[in-house]
């Protein structure tokens, strides 16, 4: 928004400098315009002079002097332009410029910050994809919130986004699930049973078996493992689906792993790799020549038992993604997938597809903390904390907020005590309370019959306090922040922005009275508050969170 105006001025000055013979076009696309990190260094700063000087062997401050000369204009945008340090050029904007953000915010409303640079490109975001062997754990929860938030971001900037869940309903783990359920079923009936080694021990297995007895008694006591596998799979996935809907996540499509086997797609992949001399037999296993694609050693894709490793169906699944015509495919995986990702990418390249169209985001694990101590988790023994249990304790909004509070590749410590506290030390409370405060101001104004009037008639130049300018600057940067977060798939930037904007508003609220004795100033400040409320609300909704009117 405002940054784009300054960028246009800078680009215009750069081209005028070329026309006047100050410098060549060698620096085209190489210089930047950034918001300085320190106060007093202007509203924006550029390294253009230093880039030009480095390319053309000139003194950077001399180049900076030429740039400053070119940038002067009487259009009301810039108050002054200064040279700093080794050749940075700092731009100081007229304070009145920042109030122009308000009209755009009011005009666009809840669409403020949205863009169309995605141009309708088809994007498939695959996330969660948890094996239906138990309830969703907190690790799955982080995956779910991350994937959904990335999908929301991409939709907001014009991509045609599809959410997909890869349903792992084949392989050894599912057979172990069936055997575990059969054992619990026979156990509850008082019959002999054999519990599988490394079987699933959670109470939820007993619950499935108990429900089966309630419905059919001992009618299934002699059924095979496949029957119990199908019963357990259906029950567990219904639980997973309910949990995901509870935290505001729905999928556009599900892809069942077993179809890769039923449709012969696994065999077809092996045949195609074999035809390219990329597969060989060794130790009764089938190996994929991943060393041909820069890896240190080849990988087994079919074990000596005849069962495929995870790599093979994943390669086949990704080929199906390409064949469905997606322009961009995004995979959200836990850090435990780090070893298989290069193998799958090698398989994609081996089959003749462009693996640059696949972006893999690996997220680190979640550590739950209570009372300063770690809450232990173990999936098989079922002493893990489920997403449902976490929602029961902290709520959906806190769950989403905290899961987005760190970059995906950062370990996440989830402080349960902090997440449930009703204090400004709790960041999610701090942000939502800012929105509730703004709603309270609007209600008070209505009760006092104070109207802001139209923004065109308001004396917005009265919004000159440092705290007011800080709020205007932050809101003006919101569209660029959303676009940047979408481009690099970084939804945590939304959370950081919300915390920053909420902090700026709380400081403003504590220092300045909105509904004061000066009616002209009051109207201007009501417009400012209304804009902050809109931007907070749109940011919260982009993160999948509520914007409460009362707290």
Ranges of each domain in the chain:
2-93, 172-246, 423-542
380 band by pLDDT with thresholds 50, 70 and 90: very low
How is residue 39 written in tokens?
């106060």
Q: What pLDDT shows up at residue 54?
A: 96
In terms of DSSP H, where are the helices of 109-224?
Answer: 138-156, 172-188, 203-216
Residues 7, 2: Cα–Cα separation, whole Å: 9
Least confident span in 62-66, 431-435, 454-458, 509-513: 454-458
Residues 316, 302: Cα–Cα separation, whole Å: 13
CB distance 91 to 78 below 8 Å: yes
pLDDT digits (tens, 9 = 90+) for 203-242: 899 999 999 999 999 999 999 999 999 999 999 999 999 9
Q: What pLDDT shows up at residue 383?
A: 60
Tell me the backbone φ, ψ of residue 498, rounded to 5 degrees: -60, -40
pTM above 0.85, yes or no: yes
**What average pLDDT does range 427-434 have in this prediction?**
96
pLDDT digits (tens, 9 = 90+) for 477-523: 999 999 999 999 999 999 999 999 999 999 999 999 999 999 999 99
What is the chain's alpha carbon radius of gyration, rounded to the nearest angstrom? 29
381 band by pLDDT with thresholds 50, 70 and 90: very low
CB distance 105 to 112 below 8 Å: yes
201 band by pLDDT with thresholds 50, 70 and 90: confident
According to CATH, what is the number of the domain 423-542?
A: 1.10.730.10
Residues 149, 135: Cα–Cα separation, whole Å: 21
Residue 156 pLDDT greater than 50, yes or no: yes
Q: What pLDDT shows up at residue 379?
A: 46
Residues 413, 490: Cα–Cα separation, whole Å: 19
Q: What pLDDT shows up at residue 38?
A: 84
- Tell how far CA 50 is from the center of its chain: 35
**What average pLDDT does range 149-169 have in this prediction?**
96
Question: What element of type H or E holds 14?
Answer: helix 2-19
Q: What pLDDT shows up at residue 485?
A: 97
CATH class of the region 2-93: alpha beta
Q: What pLDDT shows up at residue 353?
A: 97
pLDDT digits (tens, 9 = 90+) for 232-278: 999 999 999 999 999 999 999 999 999 999 999 999 999 999 999 99
324: closest CA among 345, 304, 353, 349? 353
Q: What pLDDT shows up at residue 202?
A: 84
Residue 158 pLDDT greater than 80, yes or no: yes
Tell me the backbone φ, ψ of residue 444, rounded to 5 degrees: -65, -40
124: closest CA among 305, 282, 296, 317? 317
Q: What pLDDT shows up at residue 344?
A: 96
Residue 406 pLDDT greater than 90, yes or no: yes
In terms of DSSP H, where are the helices of 193-340?
Answer: 203-216, 225-246, 258-262, 265-275, 311-323
Q: What is the DSSP letter of 74?
A: S
Q: What pLDDT shows up at residue 272?
A: 97
Q: What pLDDT shows up at residue 382?
A: 56
Question: What element of type H or E holds 242?
Answer: helix 225-246
Residue 1 pLDDT greater than 80, yes or no: no
Residues 194, 183: Cα–Cα separation, whole Å: 6
Residue 549 pLDDT greater than 80, yes or no: yes
Q: What pLDDT shows up at residue 95?
A: 85
Residue 25 pLDDT greater than 50, yes or no: yes
Helix orientation angle between 60-71 and 48-56, rounded to the nearest 10 degrees: 130
């Amino acid at each position: 928004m405002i940054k784009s105006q300054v960028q246009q001025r800078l680009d215009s000055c750069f081209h005028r400098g070329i026309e006047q013979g100050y410098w060549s076009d060698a620096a085209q696309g190489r210089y930047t315009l950034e918001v300085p990190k320190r106060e007093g260094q202007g509203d924006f700063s550029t390294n253009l002079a230093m880039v030009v000087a480095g390319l053309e062997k000139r003194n950077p401050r001399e180049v900076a002097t030429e740039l400053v000369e070119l940038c002067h204009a009487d259009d009301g945008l810039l108050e002054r332009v200064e040279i700093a340090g080794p050749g940075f050029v700092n731009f100081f904007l007229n304070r009145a410029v920042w109030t122009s953000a308000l009209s755009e915010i009011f005009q666009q409303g809840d669409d403020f910050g949205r863009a169309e640079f995605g141009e309708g490109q088809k994007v498939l975001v695959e996330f969660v994809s948890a094996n239906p062997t138990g309830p969703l754990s907190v690790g799955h929860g982080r995956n779910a919130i991350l994937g959904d938030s990335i999908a929301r971001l991409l939709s907001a900037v014009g991509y045609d986004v599809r959410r997909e869940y890869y349903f792992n309903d084949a392989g050894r783990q599912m057979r172990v699930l069936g055997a575990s359920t059969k054992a619990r079923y026979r156990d509850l009936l008082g019959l002999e049973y054999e519990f599988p080694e490394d079987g699933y021990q959670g109470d939820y297995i007993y619950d499935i078996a108990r429900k089966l007895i309630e419905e059919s008694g001992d009618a299934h006591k002699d059924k095979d493992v496949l029957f119990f596998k199908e019963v357990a799979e259906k029950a567990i996935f219904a639980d997973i689906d309910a949990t995901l809907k509870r935290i505001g996540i729905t999928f556009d499509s599900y892809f069942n792993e077993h179809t890769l086997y039923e449709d012969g797609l696994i065999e077809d992949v092996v045949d195609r790799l074999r035809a390219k001399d990329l597969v060989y037999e060794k130790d009764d296993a089938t190996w994929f020549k991943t060393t041909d694609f820069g890896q240190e050693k080849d990988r087994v894709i079919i074990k000596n038992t005849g069962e495929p490793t995870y790599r093979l169906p994943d390669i086949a699944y990704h080929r199906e993604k390409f064949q469905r015509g997606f322009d961009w495919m995004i995979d959200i995986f836990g850090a435990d997938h780090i070893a298989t990702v290069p193998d799958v990418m090698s398989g994609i390249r081996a089959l003749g597809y462009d693996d640059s169209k696949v972006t893999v985001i690996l997220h680190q694990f979640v550590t739950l903390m209570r009372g300063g101590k770690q809450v232990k988790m173990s999936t098989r023994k079922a002493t893990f904390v489920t997403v449902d249990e976490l929602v029961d304790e902290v709520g959906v909004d806190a769950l989403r907020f905290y899961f987005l509070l760190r970059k995906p590749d950062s370990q996440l410590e989830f402080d349960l005590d902090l997440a449930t506290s009703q204090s400004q030390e709790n960041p999610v409370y701090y942000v939502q309370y800012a929105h509730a405060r703004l709603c309270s101001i609007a209600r008070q104004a209505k009760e006092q019959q104070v109207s802001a009037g139209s923004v065109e008639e308001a004396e917005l130049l009265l919004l000159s306090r440092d705290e007011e300018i800080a709020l205007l600057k932050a809101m003006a940067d919101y569209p660029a922040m959303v676009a940047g977060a979408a481009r690099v798939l970084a939804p945590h930037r939304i959370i950081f922005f919300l915390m920053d904007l909420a902090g700026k508003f709380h400081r403003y609220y504590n220092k300045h009275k909105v509904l004061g004795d000066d009616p002209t100033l009051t109207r201007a400040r009501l417009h400012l508050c209304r804009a902050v409320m809109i931007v907070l609300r749109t940011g919260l909704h982009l993160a999948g969170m509520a914007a409460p009117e009362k707290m």
